Amino acid sequence: MDFLLNNLKQKIQHIDQAQKFIIRDEDRRFVESFVKTFKLSQDFVEPILKFLSHKKSTNLVWLSLSECTGCTESFLRNEIPGIDSLLLEYINLDYHEVLMSAAGFQARENLKNLKKGEYFLVVEGSVCAQQEYFATFGAEASSGAEELLHLSRDAFMVLCVGTCSSFGGVQAANPNPTNTESIDKLIQREVVNIPGCPPSDINIIYTLMYAILFEKTPSLDALNRPLWAYGKTVHDTCERKAKFESGDFVQTFGDEKMTQGYCLYKVGCKGPYAYNNCPKVKFNSKTSWPIQAGHGCIACSEPNFWDDFGVFETPMTKQNKSFAKEEKKEAVSIQDFHTFVLNLQSHQIGIFLDSKQTQILFNGKNILSFNLELNTHLFLEELAKKSKLTSRLVENYQTYFPKLYQKNMHNMSDSRISQNPADTLLLMHEILSLEKKENTHYFALQEAMSFPFKVVSDMDFSVKVSEDNIVIDAIKGMRLILCYALGGLEYDGIAYGILATLCKALKEGVAKFIVLKGIKNDVVLGGDLVQNSLIEKWLLK
Ligand code: FSX
Ligand code: SF4
Ligand code: F3S
């Protein structure tokens, strides 16, 4: 933070004093909100104001490729600083087909006059590199792909605004007849992705402003999305989340529960799978956002949102599998399961995911700790006692799954504490199924692999790592079996979520342990539940 501040102060010293603007209230409000959003200290407010009021306008080229102009519409809806201030004072919009005042040869001339490293390039829309007549520009009829390659080469930074430019978007959805793709696939340089169909005005402008002020990108995630905006899921900060936690769902559209803030998961909300800050920043100058307006999130800012998330208004169940681009999952047959022993060398760590005893092996011993109550009667009783929300959750389970509730509450056997994390599947089976199965772990794994989607319903397991052990805690997370089930997700989707979350926890635990101990990263897999390529991928990738 100190580095950023000093950098800014240094730049102010070199600024041409003649370009001075008056600092107005709205500029101050904008900068204060910006500083708060990026969790910068208050010390930044004055230098930023000074810098913005003195600096030369930043040259910006906004290229429109395969898109619907929704991103531009969103950009225009900004209230503070307001699009007029933005364009008149902070930004010099050299090229934007909808907003620029230049036309024809003059507009093309503006592009030719750009200087290397002295402009930001914003790209809206995805690109088709194989068709020379797609998205042609000017009298030269250069293709969109050519224009993009040319302009991106000399730009100071490339920002992909919208899901189309970030990940391909609707145009790249199956069967993608135009062979359209995201921008980073064509240009050989780093981009900042600001996805959303469209993204909010705030996500576009604040990211751009950060880049202009500090001449660097904000911290990005693995998909090049700014973490300040895309670090949490929509569900994490949703105003209806308490209702998800208590199992209170809108059952159908038009249901009066809709206006009472009930959760929209059962009518298709994909908020738990979408990384975006919509609940906080909203749209149209903070007027509203999809869930406030009464429709679930469609995960519009995720890669492949069109193909991967099934239909918009129902949860992801087998019934809707025709709407999913099926992931090729290996079929699992019971005969395939066999346990084998891991012969580890001293520097190796073994992840042994097994129906009898899951372990993490290091230096000849198991370093994994885990505890879970498998007696469903006691589990439900405990859960109901935790909070008002969980008590209501169990009540809803009783209302909507009366037979399962009765079966489990009639279970009068003694407490059965398990030390095997794979037994999360056993607990899930008891909560969701009336049938007894011969080998429940294998049955649950088969069901998980038949789930036609690749979207993971996270089960919120926590992982703690110390010098001599790795602790996985699933006690709190197991409540989500009830939440998802009441929301309409079925056995296969929940089993898929549990297995993926468990693999993530094992992998995270081992990765942190390796760092803590400063040892070589040499992980070997074993156990009867690992004999599936997807599980291997989850544990190792
Ligand atoms: Fe449209 Fe933008 Fe969607 Fe795409 O937003 S709102 S199709 S992300 O490129 O114009
Ligand atoms: Fe909000 Fe959707 Fe999560 Fe429900 S499922 S809490 S409506 S984001
Ligand atoms: Fe898109 Fe979902 Fe936000 S649909 S706009 S990511 S609430």
375 lines ligand 1 (CB under 6 A): no
Domains of the chain, each with CATH number or no CATH: 57-230 (3.40.50.700), 235-314 (4.10.480.10), 337-540 (3.30.420.40)
What separation in angstroms does the CA of 174 have from each of 169, 181, 307, 443, 525? 10, 12, 7, 32, 35
Distance CA 229, CA 283 (A): 14
Distance CA 496, CA 456 (A): 7
State phi, psi for 142 to the nearest 5 degrees.
-75, 150
CA of 173 to the centre of ligand 1 (A): 13
Q: Say what the pLDDT of residue 461 is.
A: 98
Angle formed by the axes of helices 45-54 and 2-13, nearest 10° = 30
pLDDT digits (tens, 9 = 90+) for 412-459: 889 999 999 999 999 999 999 999 998 999 999 999 999 999 999 999
Distance CA 149, CA 412 (A): 69
Largest CA distance in the chain: 83
- Whether the CB-CB separation of 329 and 321 falls below 8 Å is answered with no
State phi, psi for 90 to the nearest 5 degrees.
-100, -35
CA of 287 to the centre of ligand 3 (A): 14
Q: Which regions in the chain score pLDDT beneath 50?
A: 18
Distance CA 301, CA 200 (A): 11
Question: Residue 510's CB: how many other CB atoms inside 10 A?
Answer: 24
Q: Say what the pLDDT of residue 166 is.
A: 98
Distance CA 144, CA 130 (A): 10
Atom of ligand 2 nearest to the CA of 264: 7
Q: Which residues contact 62 (CB under 8 A, 6 or more apart)?
A: 72, 93, 95, 96, 97, 99, 122, 123, 124
CA of 239 to the centre of ligand 3 (A): 14
Sort 114 into a burial class: Cβ within 10 Å, 0-12 / 13-18 / 19+: middle
DSSP helix/strand/coil, 532: coil
208 lines ligand 2 (CB under 6 A): no
Distance CA 202, CA 286 (A): 9
pLDDT digits (tens, 9 = 90+) for 143-154: 999 999 999 999
Nearest by Cα to 206 from 43, 84, 60, 75: 75
The predicted model scores a pTM of 0.93
Nearest CA residue ID for atom 2, ligand 3: 297
Question: Residue 100's CB: how many other CB atoms inside 10 A?
Answer: 16
Q: Say what the pLDDT of residue 312 is.
A: 92
